[in-house]
Amino acid sequence: MNIILFTKNYPSHNSPQRPFIERELPYLKKHFKKITIIPQKKMGEYLPLPKNVVLDNNFADYYKAQNKSDIFTKAISSKCFYEEIRLHPSILLAPQMLLRLIKFVGDAELTQSWTKNWIENTEIDITNSLFYSFWLTQTAFGLGLLKRNYPKIKVVSRAHGYDVFENRYTPAYIPCRTQTLKLINKTFLASADAHNYLKKNYPSFSQKYHTACLGVEPTNFTSKASPDKIFRIVSCSSIIPLKRVGLLAKAISHAAQIRPKQKFEWIHFGEGPNRKDVQKAINEFPSSIKAELYGFTPNTQILAHYKKNPVDIFVNLSTTEGTPVSIMEAISCGIPIIATKVGGNPEIVSEENGILLSEIPSEKEIVEAFFKIIDNPEVTLEKRKGSLNIWREKYNATKNFDKFAQQLLSVLKE
């Protein structure tokens, strides 16, 4: 049994966090004889490849060599392009949607064309091979298009957040959704929220949807609460509007103004275009707040921080989410969570292990959540236990990825 895994890139030494692809490999190896990873892009120096795992960069080279006219030509020559316009004629009145469709179909046809040639040259036994896209994007669609030439080929895809929720885009549209879901054999959703979204909006393919939560490995330690009455906050995300890191900065400043004798420390892991704005806010903090932006930080270093330093709360104020790896890692260390009630967050954060805020929280609401944690140490201790419980039950990599590997294997046997 073979698995051919298509992804954006394979984990490299300069990756800010370990992608889940690398986490999955040990479990996939238990059930598949050979794993071939085919990235769309090359990025940095790769992490070591496990035994029986092959990295094929030829698709990345092929894709890089394509220009916009190649993609345009592939798109307008495709029957899928015109089928999508037939299904959604309003696309012709929306230039952004039309351009998105052209790029999507062009990329999908390039994926199909290259993979067809790869199959022919490698002489792989497709009846004994599973084609797996890590994202429900044009790559998954392109693999599905292989059924033109190979009707019995088995194609599956994971799906996470940006590749599921159309309302994250303006206009709210992901190209060829119906065509993609019709072609692929199974879609594995990283959260129940994503599963329910597809089931509601594309009910015709409900039998193909399966929730398959991601997960993180055991850390074998529990992060400690601050022993010195300093309130220590950690956050981890890109510094972009969607993550509302600036709002967190304002809330921390507001909390310090209300309680001038309370000391705060805030560390943010992550980088992004809004860093200067957040740094400006930090520069204006009162002396009772110590804050630092650590920039891109490998997850091993983040976990090392959780192990060596006290952390009182992890905060996520995203406007939308799948199920964040950053929260998974925090709860695996027993850290309580404050998070917005969006996407998959309610599946990983509850009264058991933290506080769920409204979808668009005010500074006041965030500050009140801080004070609930500060003023109730006994309750917060229980929330630490709750974080560990939720990780064990729902986001333990050992359990989740082994089950997922078995699900993939069952697709081949159908």
Strands (E), 363-403: none
pLDDT score for 282: 97
pLDDT score for 136: 97
pLDDT at 17 over 60: no
Q: Which is nearest to 320 in space by CA: 337, 345, 338, 354? A: 345
Question: Cβ distance 12 to 46 under 8 Å?
Answer: yes
pLDDT score for 89: 96
Q: Is 354 helix (H, G, I), strand (E, B) or coil?
A: strand
Looking at the chain, the whole-number percentage of residues with pLDDT higher than 90 is 86
- HSE on the CB side for 159, CA within 13 Å? 32
CA–CA separation, 342 and 8 (whole Å): 25
Q: Is 375 helix (H, G, I), strand (E, B) or coil?
A: helix
Strands (E), 18-105: 34-39, 53-55
Looking at the chain, the whole-number percentage of residues with pLDDT higher than 70 is 97
CA 48 to chain centre: 22
pLDDT at 5 over 50: yes
- Distances from the Cα of 401 to the Cαs of 20, 31, 217, 302, 369, in angstroms? 10, 11, 10, 22, 34
CA–CA separation, 300 and 303 (whole Å): 5
SS3 content of the chain, % helix, strand, coil (to 5): 50, 15, 35
Amino acid 207 reads Q
pLDDT score for 90: 95
Assign 45 a pLDDT band (cuts: 50, 70, 90): low
Strands (E), 139-205: 154-159, 186-189
pLDDT at 19 over 70: no
Q: Which is nearest to 182 in space by CA: 212, 213, 207, 150? A: 207
Sign of the torsion angle spanned by Cα atoms 139, 142, 143, 144 = positive
Q: What is the per-residue pLDDT across 127-177, written as a single tens digit (0 to 9) for each?
A: 999 999 999 999 999 999 999 999 999 999 999 989 999 988 999 999 999
Domains of the chain with bracketed CATH: 2-215+397-413 (3.40.50.2000), 231-394 (3.40.50.2000)
String of DSSP letters for 189-258: ESSHHHHHHHHHH-GGGGGGEEE----B---S--PPPPSSS-EEEEEES--SGGGTHHHHHHHHHHHHHH
Assign 46 a pLDDT band (cuts: 50, 70, 90): low
CA–CA separation, 172 and 168 (whole Å): 7
Burial of 408 (0-12, 13-18, 19+ CB in 10 A): buried
Q: What is the per-residue pLDDT across 273-311, written as a single tens digit (0 to 9) for each?
A: 999 999 999 999 999 999 999 998 888 899 999 999 999
pLDDT score for 368: 98
Tokens of 409: 């294997």
Please indicate whether residue 42 or residue 6 has the higher confidence score (pLDDT).
6
CA–CA separation, 137 and 255 (whole Å): 42
Cis peptide before 171 (omega within 30 of 0): yes
Question: Cβ distance 134 to 22 under 8 Å?
Answer: no
Assign 254 a pLDDT band (cuts: 50, 70, 90): very high
pLDDT score for 13: 47
Average pLDDT over every residue of 371-389: 96
Average pLDDT over every residue of 329-340: 97
pLDDT score for 12: 55
In degrees, to the nearest 5, what angle opens at C-alpha 397 toward C-alphas 391 and 399? 90
Q: What is the per-residue pLDDT across 172-217, written as a single tens digit (0 to 9) for each?
A: 999 999 999 999 999 999 999 999 999 999 999 999 999 999 999 9
294: left (phi over 0), alpha (psi -120 to 50) or beta: alpha
pLDDT at 16 over 60: no
CA–CA separation, 137 and 185 (whole Å): 15
